[in-house]
Amino acid sequence: MSAIAVARQRTLRVLRDERFLRALGQAVFAIAVVLFVAWCLSNYRDRGLTFTFRFLREEASFDLAEGMAFSPVDPYWKAFIVGLLNTIKVAFFGIIMATILGTVTGVARLSRNWLISNIAGVYIEIIRNTPVLVQLFFLYFAVILKFPSLEDRIVLPGPIFISIRGINLTWPRPTESFAYWLPFLIGAVIVAVGIYAWRVLLERRTRRPVSRLPWTFIALAVPLLGWFLVPGNPLYPDRPAVEGLKVVGGTSLSPEFAAILFGLVIYTAAFIAEVVRAGIMAVPRGQTEAARAQGFTEMQILQLVILPQALRIIIPPLISQYLNLTKNSSLAIAIAFLDLYAVSSTMLNQSGRVVEVFLMIMAAYLSMSLTISVLMNYVNRRLAPVER
């Protein structure tokens, strides 16, 4: 065999080697991606565009009416923070309220009561089969913006004022003696943790199911006791009142905030309801019956048998509903609530820094998504049963 033939055969062997083909394919793909990105960047440069975050320190020269105090002379980065905090506010309260409403609806859907179950069913179907933006538009333009003027406001007990200016609530505010009461609040947390730990230990030692959560409520006695020991009242109710054309006192939800918060809660709760229902239904009936046969009380069955198993199924889809709620809060821009996204798009229009602002938006949403998944995955791991 000639040297050439040997060399050719060796080349052929290399060419037919799967490992070589894999490496080659990946290299070609990587080069193609790099070339494409380079092409994009050169087009970007050809337009005479630059890339810098220096504009963040410049004066924003627009006003923000929602959230943290902000004036037009403040820099852009502060505007971004205001928007971010507004988004977090919506996401935080939204997640809590949607979880409560969703759980109640999900349990109602499973109720033996035909009417209750069907009311929940109709609510879930209507909400799930229409876009969230249509619901938001309806809530904001057709309901909240049609609220009566401040003069003809609706007054609910509390007092709560509902008017075109938004919702005004009574709000507890600390007085001077609050500082004396604070140690009692911290004490309550310590006592609650202590009681919980004691109950867990008791359960381990006696090897018998022991109820834990109801017992921790004993800790509430500590701040209650403190309330009477502290001179004066540590909190007083700050009630809203109308003075001329303004509402003073209390705390207020702007119409936009109310619309985005309630809109997202109503929407997400319908999805959470389905998640909860599926989770509960996935626990076999035999589990309940077996626990009852062993003499567990109904409360113990729920706490020790049904919930641990149902939660395991519920938590992963619940995480994605929380993520959806957070991401959907960006729809606030459609109803002029100044969330992260709306503020950023004003920044973008004023400064013309399209790419920079978008990178900031994406970074903010990605880190929020990541935070929620990490937190919830931690909860999920804690709840996971110990495998044999």
Partner 1 sequence: MTTATEVMKPPRTEVGVLGWLKKNLFGTWYDALLTVGSVAFISVVLYGVTNWALTGAKWGVVTTNIKVFMVGRYPYSEIWRIWASIGLFAVMAAITGVVWRLNIARARRAVTISWIVVSLLTVVLLAGFGENTPIPRVPLAIWSGLMLTLTLGIVGIVASFPIGVLLALGRRSNLPVIKVFSTMFIEIVRGVPLITVLFIAMLMLPLFLPASISGRLSNVLRVMVGMTLFSAAYVAENVRGGLQAIPKGQYEAGRAVGLNEAYVMALIVLPQALRAMIPAIVGQFISLYKDTSLVVIVGLLDLLGIAKAVTGQTEWIGTQKEVFAFAGVIYFITCSALSYASRRLEKQLGVGER
Indicate the residue among 116 and 160 with the shorter CB distance to partner 1. 116
- CB of 366 vs partner 1, minimal distance in Å: 4
How many CB atoms are located within 10 Å of the residue 353 CB? 21
Task: Pick the closer one to partner 1 by CB: 299 or 370.
Answer: 370
Window of 27-35, 191-199, 215-223, 304-312 that interacts with partner 1 by CB under 8 A: 27-35
Which residues, in sequence order, are bridge partners of residue 69?
A: none
DSSP letters, 323-366, are HHHHHHGGGGGGGT---HHHHHHHHHHHH--HHHHHHHHHHHHH
Q: How far is the CB of 119 from partner 1 (least distance, A)?
A: 6
Q: Which residue has the tokens 């790419």?
A: 355
304: tokens are: 């020790």
Q: By CB under 8 A, tell whether 331 contacts partner 1.
A: yes
Residue 91 Cα distances to 8, 56, 255, angstroms: 65, 25, 17
Distance CA 61, CA 338 (A): 16
Q: Is 322 in the site for partner 1 (CB under 8 A)?
A: no
Residue with tokens 């109602």: 108
Residue closest to 340 by CA, chosen among 147, 74, 7, 90: 90
* Strand runs labelled E in the chain: 154-156, 160-163, 166-169, 171-174, 235-238, 241-243, 246-248, 251-253
- Positions 107 through 136 that interact with partner 1 (CB under 8 A): 111-116, 119, 125-126, 128-135
CB 263 within 8 A of CB 139: yes
Judged by CB under 8 A, which of 55, 62, 138, 180 binds partner 1? 138
Phi and psi (nearest 5°) for 48?
75, 20
**Ramachandran class of 144: left when φ > 0, alpha when ψ lies in -120 to 50, beta otherwise:** alpha
Nearer to partner 1, 172 or 284 (CB): 284
> What distance in Å separates the CA atoms of residue 288 and residue 303, rounded to the nearest whole number?
11
Q: Which is nearer to partner 1, 15 or 370 (CB)?
A: 370
Q: Which among 41-49, 78-86, 201-209, 287-295 is the span making contact with partner 1, rule CB under 8 A? A: 41-49
Which residues, numbered 276-295, are part of the site for partner 1 (CB under 8 A)? none
Binding of partner 1 by 142 (CB under 8 A):
yes
Q: Residue 174 interacts with partner 1 (CB under 8 A)?
A: no
Q: Is 137 in the site for partner 1 (CB under 8 A)?
A: yes
* Cβ distance to partner 1 smaller for residue 110 or 132: 132
Identified binder of partner 1 from the candidate list 7, 13, 14, 29, rule CB under 8 A: 29
Q: Does 252 bind partner 1 (CB under 8 A)?
A: no
Using CB under 8 A, which of 26, 50, 211, 251 touches partner 1?
26
Residue 156 or 201: the one with the smaller Cβ distance to partner 1 is: 156
299 binds partner 1 (CB under 8 A): no
Q: In whole angstroms, how close is the CB of 351 to partner 1 at the nearest point?
A: 13
Task: Supply the angle between the helices 3-16 and 18-46 in degrees, to the nearest 10.
Answer: 70
Q: In the complex with partner 1, which residue's Cβ is closer, 187 or 317?
A: 317
Which is it for strands 235-238 and 154-156: parallel, antiparallel or unpaired? unpaired
Q: Cα–chain-centroid distance for residue 81?
A: 18
Indicate the residue among 291 and 357 with the shorter CB distance to partner 1. 357
Percent helix, strand and coil across the chain, each to the nearest 5: 70, 10, 20
Closest distance to partner 1 from the beta carbon of 50 (Å): 12
CB of 382: closest distance to partner 1 in angstroms? Answer: 24
**Least gap, CB of 256 to partner 1 (angstroms):** 15
Based on CB atoms, which residue is closest to partner 1, 27 or 200? 27
Q: What are phi and psi of 167, to 5 degrees?
A: -115, 125
- What is the contact surface with partner 1 in residues (CB under 8 A)? 22, 25-27, 29-30, 33, 40-41, 43-44, 46-47, 49, 111-116, 119, 125-126, 128-135, 137-138, 141-143, 145-146, 327-328, 330-331, 333-334, 341, 345, 348, 354-355, 358, 361-362, 365-366, 369-370
